């Protein structure tokens, strides 16, 4: 059985971009893979954050993932800082990672622009820690959204360089993309993300979902209700493709092109379907909030399992590197 590993930052509300681009795909994959998922708190601290809020964000990220379908009986879910080997392996990987490769990372360039006052070494080395997350467990598949592909390619390069220097220890992990690997923000301008405030949260209430969708960008060329629209360039249609039934998608596609349906009605169908998908997740999350010990228990069991795998890998790594 091949092993998958993926991670999510506890840096705020989990968005439908995270859900449609990654989490929903993880849920589909857990039956056929040995699966490990991680709340990557050590990545989240590479930008400014509120210390007092972090524990709740970590809890919420874990509980949202469980509520969204990561059944703890079928996978390991844990918090990165509970397994110290991640940072140890990252340090060793630093020694085989050229600085030039890190400087080319799109996410580093974007975050450096957003956080000019704190471009720290942790932010620069972020992808090295990500490579360590994956390779510590010798995972061969990494299900992510499109924005993470460059980081996984770098993880592959790091594995190759390490193996060439110290012996064949690590697999070269491959990306598994979800069917909707890039969800745009509601303004249609950039990728949906917490930091851009262009998102719908997985736990958002129906009224808030409806009002956000009501003002979301559609096909900009469609000025009047009687103008035909072009679903191919409409962000709302992309969301339909990930949330509506094949019949509804067909209908919207045909009717939009001949102005048979307006944006208001099209968005209403989408809102109904989104709310139907997210309602049970929010309810399950509220239940878990009332039983926090259950979530902590899942995370502790996950970390215990991961520590065993991590210890074995690090034993091999230290030996191979002459660190004995
Ligand atoms: P993060 O926390 O930004 O996002 C978690 C997952 O959600 C996906 N995603 C999206 N997919 C489609 N459209 C969007 N708008 C969208 N926004 C987010 C991301 O691609 C990701 O799969 N560096 C990672 C976390 C990480 C990790 C790892 C991932 C740390 N170590 C090891 C995989 C393996 C990150 O910042 O994800």
H or E, element range at 81: none
Q: In the prediction, which pLDDT does 207 show? A: 98
C-alpha 192/C-alpha 145 separation (Å) is: 11
Domains annotated on the chain, with CATH: 3-183+292-320 (3.40.50.620), 206-285 (1.10.240.10)
Tell whether ligand 1 has an atom less than 6 A from the beta carbon of residue 132.
no
Q: Which of 46, 144, 173, 180 to mutate to test the pocket of ligand 1 (most atoms within 8 A of CB)?
A: 144
C-alpha 77/C-alpha 64 separation (Å) is: 12
pTM of the model as a whole: 0.97
User: Locate tokens 């490579």: which residue?
Assistant: 131
C-alpha 191/C-alpha 146 separation (Å) is: 10
Tell whether ligand 1 has an atom less than 6 A from the beta carbon of residue 239.
no
Here the tokens at position 118 are 């704190």
Tell whether ligand 1 has an atom less than 6 A from the beta carbon of residue 204.
no
CA 186 to chain centroid, in Å, comes to 18
**Atom 16 of ligand 1, residue of closest alpha carbon:** 17
Q: Is 194 a catalytic residue?
A: yes
- Burial of residue 129 (CB within 10 Å: 0-12, 13-18, 19+) is buried
| Annotated active-site residue in 194, 212, 268, 284 | 194
Q: In the prediction, which pLDDT does 149 show? A: 98
- Decide: helix, strand or coil at residue 144: strand
249-288 as b/e, with b when 16 or more CB fall inside 10 Å? bebbbebbeeeebbbeebbebbbbbbbebbeebbebbeeb
> 54 C-alpha vs ligand 1 centroid, how far in Å?
18
Tell whether ligand 1 has an atom less than 6 A from the beta carbon of residue 173.
no
Q: Is 111 a catalytic residue?
A: yes
Tell whether ligand 1 has an atom less than 6 A from the beta carbon of residue 191.
yes
Tell whether ligand 1 has an atom less than 6 A from the beta carbon of residue 125.
no
Q: In the prediction, which pLDDT does 324 show? A: 83
> 32 C-alpha vs ligand 1 centroid, how far in Å?
21
Query: How would you write the pLDDT of the chain (324 residues) with one tens digit per residue?
Result: 899 999 999 999 999 999 999 999 999 999 999 999 999 999 999 999 999 999 999 999 999 999 999 999 999 999 999 999 999 999 999 999 999 999 999 999 999 999 999 999 999 999 999 999 999 999 999 999 999 999 999 999 999 999 999 999 999 999 999 999 999 999 999 999 988 889 999 999 999 999 999 999 999 999 999 999 999 999 999 999 999 999 999 999 999 999 999 999 999 999 999 999 999 999 999 999 999 999 999 999 999 999 999 999 999 999 999 998
Give the bridge partners for 144, in sequence order.
177
Here the tokens at position 101 are 């490769």
User: Locate tokens 């045909």: which residue?
Assistant: 254
Q: Is 109 a catalytic residue?
A: no
Q: Which of 3, 16, 18 to mutate to test the pocket of ligand 1 (most atoms within 8 A of CB)?
A: 18
> 43 C-alpha vs ligand 1 centroid, how far in Å?
11
Here the tokens at position 113 are 């622009």
């Amino acid at each position: 059985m091949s092993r998958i590993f993926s991670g999510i930052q506890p840096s705020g509300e989990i968005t439908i971009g995270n859900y449609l681009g990654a989490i929903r795909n993880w849920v589909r994959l857990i039956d056929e893979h040995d699966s490990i998922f991680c709340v990557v708190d050590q990545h989240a601290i590479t930008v400014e954050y509120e210390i007092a809020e972090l524990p709740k964000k970590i809890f919420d990220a874990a509980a949202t993932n469980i509520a969204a379908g990561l059944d703890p009986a079928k996978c390991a879910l844990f918090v990165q800082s509970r397994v110290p080997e991640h940072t140890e392996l990252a340090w060793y990987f630093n020694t085989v990672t050229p600085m030039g490769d890190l400087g080319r990372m799109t996410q580093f360039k974007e975050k450096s622009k957003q956080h000019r006052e704190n471009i720290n070494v942790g932010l620069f080395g972020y992808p090295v820690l990500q490579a360590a997350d994956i390779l510590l467990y010798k995972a061969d598949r990494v299900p992510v959204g499109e924005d993470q592909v460059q980081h996984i390619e770098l993880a592959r390069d790091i594995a190759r360089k390490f193996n060439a220097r110290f012996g064949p220890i690590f697999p070269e992990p491959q990306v598994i993309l979800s069917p909707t690997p890039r969800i745009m923000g509601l303004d249609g301008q950039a990728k949906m993300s917490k930091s851009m405030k262009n998102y719908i949260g997985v736990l958002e209430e129906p009224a808030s979902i409806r009002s956000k969708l009501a003002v979301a960008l559609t096909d900009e060329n469609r000025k009047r209700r009687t103008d035909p629209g072009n679903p191919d360039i409409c962000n709302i249609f992309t969301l339909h493709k990930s949330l509506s039934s094949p019949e509804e998608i067909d209908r919207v596609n045909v009717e939009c092109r001949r102005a048979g349906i307006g944006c208001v009605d099209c968005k209403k169908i989408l809102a109904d379907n989104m709310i139907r998908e997210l309602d049970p997740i929010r309810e399950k999350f509220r239940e878990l909030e009332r039983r926090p010990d259950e979530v902590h228990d899942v995370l502790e069991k996950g970390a215990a399992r991961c520590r065993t795998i991590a210890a074995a890998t690090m034993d091999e790594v230290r030996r191979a590197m002459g660190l004995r």
